[in-house]
Amino acid sequence: MVYSLCIKCRENQEVIQLLTLDLIPKLVRAAYADDVKTVDTVSIMLGRKLKKDYPDVSKEILQIAADYKVGADVYRSIDISPVPVDRETHDSLVNVEENVETEPPILSADVEDQFEDFIKERSLIQKFLQEGIRPSNSLLMYGSPGVGKTYSARWLAYRLQMPMITVDLASTISSYLGRSGQNIKSVFEYTKRNNIILFLDEIDAIAKKRDDETDLGELKRLVNVLLKEMEDCPTSCIIIGATNHPELLDRAVWRRFDRSIELGVPAEGEREKLFKRGLDKWYDTMSCISFLIAKSASMSAADICRLCDHIKRQIIMNESTSIDYLAIKELCHMCHFRTKDEKVKVCHLLKSYVPNISIRGISESVGIPQASVARYLKEDDYE
């Protein structure tokens, strides 16, 4: 009797949990659709249902809903004061990023060491201060697009367990001409007040615009404000800058950063790790991995991540097709084979993975004329 009651209780519990879980997709859908009314209703239902088993989570959800209702800032419940806004348009000047678990970026050993050094310094901040040494609190990342600057900034925030605010100087601050200096000041004020990480993405936007003859005065002032604010920023805050164009960056701003770290396109070992992470369970079952690694030499980490996503999608959609064939076909869409050796090799590889493939099929997959494919397949010197 008691036993059957327990089973009943457990079943009830599971039913309640299922009902609660059912709310999550509704909430996600409403959030994506900007449907604030449904977000509000579902959040309150969720908060109430979680009250008994997860009182802290329930309290936080209901607090956010209550803050929203009275027009207060929704970030109040994570101890972040309302975000700064432009005085006239009332547009928010920053994005608050709560830190979420992030896998480490795949970088060269040297860059990884530099990040680890920075993290270590931050963990020893008190020791540094006791010895009268100022710990570093700023770093600049530079490198071509897609090497992982933004991703690394998010990962750093996660490792340091600090909230991060992002300012895209190109699209926000500098578009409020006349008020940019004031806006920069507000952003720094906010950073200081909340002891958080300030991420200045595309920081070169200021230096770039300084060359713009039409508005030299305003932008010169802006750089001066930035320099002064960076100098005044206490070590409890962190400033991370990122740029794709280090050559355009104002040298004084550059010098103001404690560290500058160059992120490069991934070398062979890093590409291997990127494919291993990106292709997940399919990595070990693919025969063409070494070809993918060799031929992705000029790709950025972001390109390789994208390539892996394309390959995985194709694998799911074409269950009966060779995964190596699909992988190489996707690679061909993203990179061009320049030398004849490369073209010969890729044609032979496709033929080996799909023996009954037609010349036309190879031609369409690789983007090489059919006559050339036929010729390449006859080449004897291919090993």
Ligand X SMILES: Nc1ncnc2c1ncn2[C@@H]1O[C@H](COP(=O)(O)OP(=O)(O)O)[C@@H](O)[C@H]1O
Q: Which residues bind ligand X (CB under 6 A)?
A: 105-107, 145-151, 301-302, 305
Q: Helix, strand, coil proportions of the chain in percent (round to 5)? A: 60, 10, 30
The residue (of 181 and 241) whose beta carbon lies closer to ligand X is 241
Minimum CB separation of residue 301 from ligand X in Å reads 3
Determine which helix (DSSP H) or strand (DSSP E) holds 141, and give its type and residue range. strand 138-142
Binding site partner of 256, from Mg ion, ligand X, none, Cβ cut-off 5-8 A by kind: none
- Rounded CA gap, 62 and 8, in Å? 30
Minimum CB separation of residue 365 from ligand X in Å reads 26
Binding site partner of 147, from ligand X, Mg ion, none, Cβ cut-off 5-8 A by kind: ligand X
Q: Where do contacts with Mg ion occur on this chain (CB under 5 A)?
A: 149-150
Nearest residue relative to Mg ion (C-beta): 150
Minimum CB separation of residue 113 from Mg ion in Å reads 22
The residue (of 149 and 210) whose beta carbon lies closer to Mg ion is 149
DSSP symbols for 265-322: ---HHHHHHHHHHHHGGGGGG-S-HHHHHHHTTT--HHHHHHHHHHHHHHHHH-TTS-
The residue (of 275 and 376) whose beta carbon lies closer to ligand X is 275
Nearest residue relative to ligand X (C-beta): 148
The count of other CB atoms within 10 Å of the CB of residue 324 is: 21
Minimum CB separation of residue 372 from ligand X in Å reads 34
Tell me if 97 sits within 8 A of 157, measured CB to CB: yes
Count Cα atoms within 13 angstroms, Cβ side, for 154.
Answer: 14
The residue (of 47 and 105) whose beta carbon lies closer to ligand X is 105
Count Cα atoms within 13 angstroms, Cβ side, for 104.
Answer: 13
Tell me if 162 sits within 8 A of 238, measured CB to CB: yes
Torsion angles phi and psi, residue 51, rounded to 5: -55, -45
Minimum CB separation of residue 55 from ligand X in Å reads 35
Minimum CB separation of residue 112 from ligand X in Å reads 10
The residue (of 55 and 145) whose beta carbon lies closer to ligand X is 145
The residue (of 122 and 149) whose beta carbon lies closer to Mg ion is 149
Binding site partner of 151, from Mg ion, ligand X, none, Cβ cut-off 5-8 A by kind: ligand X
